[in-house]
Structure 1
Amino acid sequence: MSAVPHIHLFKRHRFKIIIGALIFWLLIGLFVFTTETIARNYFKSPALDVVEQKQYLLRWFLWLFLTPIIIALGLKINIRNSRLFWFVLIHIGLGTSLLTGEFLIEVAVIKPFAENFYLRHVDVGEIILPFLFKYFAYIITYFLIIGIVNIYVYMESLQAAELQKKELEFQLALSQLQTLRMQIHPHFLFNTHHSIIALITKKENDKAAKMLSKLSDLLRTTIEKQEAEFVPLAEEINTAELYLGIQLIRFNERFTYHKNIAPETEKCLIPYFILQPIIENAVIYGIEKTENDAFITINSDVESSRLVIEVINTGLLGHEHKGFGIGIANIKSRLQQYYGNQSAFELRQNDAHTTIATIKIPCHES
């Protein structure tokens, strides 16, 4: 029988237990009084004499006193830390012991009072017989209290297990999110590093130096925000613009950048670096594959209390390119972790040979 510390519940809720026991036995007393009254008035049952009334009252007070003790026993030996056979057997023994003690107190108090009232010797058997006749009812009452206690213990254990499960799920989700965040940065750094190497190879050292300087600014920004889960949309776009500034140097400003950000969306919180994979894909699989002038546009608006962000760029969808799915899968996973079914991500191509990436999430402000 392993020990499970439920007894702390008794200490924590002792005032409620005492009040509950009082209310419980007041209801029992009211029920007994009502049945006795009905039996006497409607079925001609003999009225209780003074000794019997005193005995009932004493028994009521004793049960009121015993109830907290029974509750403590039920918390100490319960269905969570005992096998059913031993649970029943032990409580039958404990219940019988308590009832025996209760009977001895009745004998000690009621016997002298009865002898003074009846003016004769009262045999112990006269007191014990009614007690034995009602022993089964008393032990059922004992197990009723034990049963209520064990329902509470079971529900509390179930709630604790559910809380522990939710905590484990939260830790797992947090770990998965951290993994996704760590996946973004190496991917982004590799792509930017590749751009700088390309300029150096072409002996465009001034541009490479300028790009490296902007990369330093971008890295400083990302390091400052690396612990952030969410940032306002305005900050996320500022970070994206640092990256686009690097790419504008690389492509000799062969593409243009526009933004149409609704003022009411600037303070909406979004997962940090969620736009970066979209913009990288727009550059690598859109702009880079287009020989003519191109563009990247970021739009935002609020529709039905949801933040809608669009990244539109020249070029076709790049599913056939190796690595294209990494960033997109990352976005979908993060949105699912943060928002579940309240989020949506769509990547589509329109007739104008442009690609449109759309994110829809609840708009919560900082």
Structure 2
Amino acid sequence: MNTPTAPRENPDRSFATLLVASWGACVLVSALGTLPNFAYPTYVLYRVVLTIACLACSLPLLIVCRWLYAHAAIGRALAAALTFAYVLAYLCAAGSEAFDRWLDPPGMGAKSLWFESLSGAIGAWALLGGIVGLYFGFRYYTAAQEARERLIAATALAREAELRALRYQIQPHFIFNTLNAISTLVYTQQTAHATRMIARFGDFLRLTLDADVTREVRVAEELELTLGYLDIERVRLGDRLDVRPDVDPASLDLGMPPLLLQPLVENAIRHGIAPSRRACRLDIAIRRDGERLVLTVANDGVDLVEPVRYGVGLSNVAGRLRHLYDDDFRLVLSRPPGGGGAARVELPARPIAAERDA
């Protein structure tokens, strides 16, 4: 099942927006640091030139960071980027100091321009180093998010494949039983019954093959499919099968896994009703109990043998429920007081009609 996804935003474009905001913050911080010395125009001009130079140097710095991110390990890339940032910061400080001396030539005891730039480079390096950290942090964060999304997608695909495998383990059992029953009807020359069974069998196969095991269906849809299956079994068992559905109308629009009710019904017929020589009742009860959806399939045929052992069909049902609901479900097999067997399933009660319409 292919799920359309929104196009991913370009990480560099996202970072550009973040960078512009950081530039604004840096300019603001630089301006606030300059305010106490606003009475010294030369110093103010020095800070303005230094800030503009750092912002201009951030562009080649980002190009180097992008290259290092793609070609080096995180430790080496970060160390190299910070070193390059310091070189740029020192050049920015030296250029700003030279411009300041051009406006206000120093006295005879002034220190060397290159030595004086060492202290000015510290603030510039802090600014450019912050941009380096911001870039690497942002890129590695987006990479981690993409890796997490890929893991989620891979897990979903694996779950879907396993659910389909469980589904295909259930179907052959029913197909072989039905073909064997059709063969018996043809052998005993019950042509009308065989024709009806083949038609019902074709309808049932179409519905099951169209079902998507990875999404819930309405209870009404699953009930319709199960009743179609029971039409096939009625042809095979005749009057020995007495079906008595008891469905709460409030449960019809709730969601449940497809092909969940049918294996429970098939299990009841195979182990409880078919081995019995008398007419047996099959009760199918579906109701909403608060925040739970409760499905019960019971028969008064052959008594359930205790301790209960799960066969292939019920083991696959339990496996599907575990994949879809984790531990938020119950599947209980029991022998009613009057004899026979019963299977009870409890699921979260979740309406899905609105989701389908959307």
Q: Find the aligned partners of 2:267 and 2:126 in 1 and give their Cα distance.
A: 73
Q: Find the aligned partners of 1:152 and 1:234 in 2 and give their Cα distance.
A: 49
Deviations 1:161-208, CA, capped at 9 Å, x for gaps: 111111110110111112122222222111111222333444444433
1:82 aligns to 2:110 (yes or no):
no
1:131 aligns to 2:122 (yes or no):
no
Partner residue in 2 for 1:285: 271
1:193 aligns to 2:193 (yes or no):
no
C-alpha distance 56-48 of structure 1, shift in aligned 2 (>3 A): farther
Partner residue in 2 for 1:349: 335
Counterpart secondary structure, 1:342: coil
1:1-366 equivalences in 2 (<5 Å): 9-30=11-32, 32-33=33-34, 49-78=40-69, 81-83=71-73, 86-87=76-77, 90-107=80-97, 109-115=99-105, 125-225=111-211, 229-314=215-300, 315-317=302-304, 325-362=311-348, 363-366=350-353
Query: AA paired with 2:88?
Result: L
Contact 2:200 2:228 in 1 (8 A): yes
* Runs of 5+ unmatched residues, structure 2: 1-9, 354-358
Query: AA paired with 1:17?
Result: L
C-alpha distance 354-200 of structure 1, shift in aligned 2 (>3 A): same
Q: How many residues align?
A: 342
Q: Find the aligned partners of 1:159 and 1:102 in 2 and give their Cα distance.
A: 36
* Cα root mean square deviation, aligned: 3.1
Q: Find the aligned partners of 2:44 and 2:324 in 1 and give their Cα distance.
A: 67
Query: AA paired with 2:351?
Result: H
User: Larger deviation: 258-267 or 99-108?
Assistant: 99-108
- TM (norm. structure 2) is 0.83
- Which protein is bigger by CA-based radius of gyration? 1
C-alpha distance 334-89 of structure 1, shift in aligned 2 (>3 A): closer
1:214 positional shift: 2.6
Q: Find the aligned partners of 2:294 and 2:327 in 1 and give their Cα distance.
A: 15
C-alpha distance 175-355 of structure 1, shift in aligned 2 (>3 A): same
1:126 positional shift: 4.9
Query: AA paired with 1:112?
Result: W
Counterpart secondary structure, 1:217: helix
User: Could you tell me the percent identity over the aligned residues?
Assistant: 19
Contact 2:93 2:124 in 1 (8 A): no
1:261 positional shift: 0.6
Q: Find the aligned partners of 1:231 and 1:135 in 2 and give their Cα distance.
A: 66
